[in-house]
Amino acid sequence: MSKSESRRKGSGEKRHRRRRGSSAPSRKHSARDTSKSADRRSAHSKSKKQRKPSGRTGSSEPITGGTGSFKTGNTGSSQRVSAGNTGSSQRVSAGNTGSFSTTGSRRVNSSSGKVRSSKRGKRAPMHAAPVKKRFPVWGVLLIILLVAGAGVGAFFGIRYLLHPYEGARVEDGQQVTVVIPDGSSGSEIVQALLDSGVIHSSKDFRKAVQQQNADQNLRSGTYTFVTGSDCAEIVRQLVAGPNSAEGQLQVPEGLTVTQTAALVESSLGIPSKEFLNQAKASNYVDDYPFLASAGKDSLEGYLYPKTYDLSGKDKTADAVIRLMLDQFQSEVNGLDMAGAEKKLAERYNLNVTDYDILKLASVIEKEATNEDDRPKVSSVFYNRLSVGKALESDATMGYETGGAVTSEDLTKDSPYNTYLHKGLPPTPICSPSLWNIEAAMEPADTDYMYFFIIESDNYSKHTYSKTYEEHDSAYAEALKEQAEANGEKK
């Protein structure tokens, strides 16, 4: 039995006991009662005719009080009394004490005729059946919801007092992207983290920064964080740098300007045509003097390969090109180009320039496949240049064709066909890495005049030769070995 049902049953029992304990008049009448009733009716008829007042107990004297008049009868009798102006009918019971108790708010003394006020309310009729009120189910549910809501509110209230939130209220465990613009102050970084819900307390974050002594090492950029992460981990990531690909441009080594333009469009949404129109050496030579020697007004070789973060920055063709030129300048500024050119002149009797080194570095970028190959390939090219031989690099003609090179392509007259034209190509053929620039500055000391490099899924061969006969024989043997590795019969 539920508590609500118990209360309803208990209250009902109380009402039953109250009725059983009341002094309700009996509905049965004896012969004596009948005769007395007849006498009262006779006396009442006479009183109507005579209208004379009487001071005796049980007389039919009219008493005025309240909203109407009440007529009293003999003691022990039961009669209906009409209330004057209200038009309602009420039952008055005469007890042994000589007084009448109405269901209204007046008490009448039959002997003295006085009326006394009573503050008791209206009683329910003694013959009324008990009414059981059931507590509605929706009421129980409402109480449960209110109690539960109060508990949750109290929990979060206490939690807030112990760990007050600042900034946005974001559920923990959500992955969000935060952009820290260039030049952001410490307070601005804290606010960005608060606004995104990554941290909930600026005090805890500042404490983590101090513990790691990282106040001067927080980097700008686009980050991916998980809300509610430990402040120490967030600080470590800010020191390491951006970890989000959003707003980033990843430029690998060996791309041409045309390929870079396509990458910029796919990564940043800048149209490739717009980029190519802007990528002219004449547009930047005033700010970058090293472009004065650029051939064909081209920026080929100068768009340095690197991962660039443009989050919070202008995403225009000009802005991207300037970032790449800045990076190129920063990388080569640490190189002793003049010293390298002097050594090359002494060893190979060649007068090379910074631009020549960049052109050769781009060819090495396309030909060499590992760290060990780079200085060897560089030495082969310098050895051939020093004796007036053509470079004979398929890679240079590949710049012209934009892809694979066929035997027929090598017969076409093009300044990039280094089988037909001696010396270096008119421009770099791609943007080389710093490693290949260094290889072009410091080639290995060898007598090699030829080389071939084969890399396939089932076969790898890197061979350097001093004579053409050695080269031709080694190449034929390599093709045979490759066929056997692929399960072919040669």
- Look at residue 107 in the predicted model and tell me its pLDDT: 44
Same-domain pairing of 317 and 344:
no
Percentage of residues in the chain having pLDDT higher than 70:
66
CB 68 within 8 A of CB 76: no
Q: What residue numbers bound the domain in which 79 lies?
A: 54-124
Beta strand segments in 351-459, E: 450-455
Last residue of a domain, one of 124, 141, 176: 124
- Look at residue 208 in the predicted model and tell me its pLDDT: 94
User: Is 451 strand, coil or helix?
Assistant: strand
What amino acid is encoded at 206 in this protein? R
Q: How many CA atoms lie within 13 A of 474 on its CB side?
A: 16
Q: What is the pLDDT of residues 374-427, one digit of tens each?
A: 999 999 999 999 999 999 999 999 999 998 999 999 999 999 999 999 999 999
Nearest by Cα to 117 from 130, 127, 103, 107: 107
Q: Is residue 239 part of a domain?
A: no
Same-domain pairing of 328 and 341:
no
Q: Is residue 390 part of a domain?
A: yes
- Measured distance CA(450)–CA(471) in Å, rounded: 6
Q: Is residue 412 part of a domain?
A: yes
Q: Is residue 408 part of a domain?
A: yes
Rounding to the nearest 10 degrees, give the CA dihedral for residues 20, 22, 24, 28. Answer: 40
Q: Is residue 322 part of a domain?
A: yes
- Measured distance CA(448)–CA(287) in Å, rounded: 41
Instruction: State how far the alpha carbon of 201 is from the alpha carbons of 173, 217, 231, 375, in Å.
Output: 16, 20, 9, 54
Same-domain pairing of 347 and 433:
yes
Same-domain pairing of 319 and 392:
no
Same-domain pairing of 342 and 443:
yes
459 Cβ neighbours under 8 A, 6+ residues apart: 481, 482, 485, 486
Last residue of a domain, one of 106, 124, 142: 124
Task: State the pTM of this model.
Answer: 0.60
Rounding to the nearest 10 degrees, give the CA dihedral for residues 407, 412, 418, 419. Answer: 50
Which tokens is 239 given?
């020191």
Same-domain pairing of 341 and 442:
yes
Which tokens is 7 given?
């209360």
- Look at residue 181 in the predicted model and tell me its pLDDT: 86
Q: What is the pLDDT of residues 192-211, one digit of tens each?
A: 999 999 998 999 999 999 99
Question: Among 1-15, 225-239, 399-413, which is the least confidently predicted range?
Answer: 1-15
Mutual orientation of helices 231-240 and 202-211 as an angle, nearest 10°? 60
Number of domains in the chain: 3
Q: Is residue 148 part of a domain?
A: no
Q: Is residue 347 part of a domain?
A: yes
| Phi, psi values for residue 92, rounded to 5° | -115, 130
Residue range 131-140: mean pLDDT, rounded: 60
- Measured distance CA(452)–CA(447) in Å, rounded: 15
Which tokens is 79 given?
């009669």
Instruction: State how far the alpha carbon of 463 is from the alpha carbons of 365, 418, 471, in Å.
Output: 17, 21, 8
Same-domain pairing of 357 and 437:
yes
Pairing mode, strands 307-309 and 248-250: antiparallel
- Look at residue 32 in the predicted model and tell me its pLDDT: 43
- Look at residue 42 in the predicted model and tell me its pLDDT: 46
Same-domain pairing of 367 and 310:
no
Same-domain pairing of 410 and 342:
yes
Q: What is the pLDDT of residues 345-364, one digit of tens each?
A: 999 999 999 999 999 999 99
What amino acid is encoded at 306 in this protein? K
User: Is 176 strand, coil or helix?
Assistant: strand
Residue 231: Cβ-neighbour burial (10 angstroms; 0-12, 13-18, 19+): buried
Same-domain pairing of 345 and 442:
yes
Q: Is residue 131 part of a domain?
A: no
- Look at residue 83 in the predicted model and tell me its pLDDT: 39
Question: Which pairs from 47-51 meet CB under 8 Å and 24+ separation?
Answer: none
Same-domain pairing of 435 and 356:
yes
Beta strand segments in 30-122, E: 62-65, 68-71, 78-82, 89-94, 99-101, 106-109, 115-117
Check whether 234 has a pLDDT greater than 50: yes
- Look at residue 221 in the predicted model and tell me its pLDDT: 84
- Look at residue 65 in the predicted model and tell me its pLDDT: 39
Residue range 68-85: mean pLDDT, rounded: 40
Last residue of a domain, one of 281, 302, 332: 332
**pLDDT class of 4 with cuts at 50, 70, 90:** very low
Nearest by Cα to 302 from 292, 312, 310: 292
- Measured distance CA(263)–CA(400) in Å, rounded: 20
Q: What is the pLDDT of residues 95-118, one digit of tens each?
A: 444 433 334 444 444 444 444 444
Same-domain pairing of 304 and 351:
no
One-character DSSP codes across 225-283: EETT--HHHHHHHHHH-----TTEEE--TT--HHHHHHHHHHHH---HHHHHHH-BGGG
Which tokens is 337 given?
């180009």
